[in-house]
């Protein structure tokens, strides 16, 4: 009975260690992917702000 308990403890420790070691690289990968996806969106928003701030020869139809 005690050998079964030891085996269960070792297996659970191995599973927890494997999950812990897999979590960090996965977290880094997801953060990098999110950064690469968000950067073009931020650039687009900034370009839109700059375009809207420019003076135009035609009147602004949005404010009428």
The pLDDT of 50-58, averaged and rounded, is 80
Answer yes or no: is 44 within a domain: yes
Answer yes or no: is 40 within a domain: yes
Answer yes or no: is 31 within a domain: yes
For the chain, the three-class secondary structure string (H helix, E strand, C coil) is CHHHHHHHHHHHHHHHHHHHHHHHHHHHHHHHHHHHHHHHHHHHHHHHHHHHHCCCCCCCHHHC
Name which residue leads in pLDDT, 11 or 61.
11
Answer yes or no: is 41 within a domain: yes
Mean pLDDT of the chain: 89
**What residues make up the domain containing 25?**
21-51
Give this prediction's pTM. 0.49
pLDDT value of residue 22: 93
Residue 62 carries which DSSP code?
Answer: G
Structure tokens at 8: 């269960």
Answer yes or no: is 4 within a domain: no
Answer yes or no: is 56 within a domain: no
| pLDDT higher than 80, residue 60 | no
């Amino acid at each position: 009975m005690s050998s079964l308990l030891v085996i269960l403890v070792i297996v659970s420790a191995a599973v927890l260690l494997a999950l812990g070691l897999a979590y960090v690289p996965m977290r880094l990968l997801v953060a990098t992917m999110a950064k690469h996806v968000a950067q073009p969106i931020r650039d687009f928003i900034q370009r839109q702000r700059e375009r809207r701030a420019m003076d135009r020869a035609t009147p602004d139809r949005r404010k009428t």
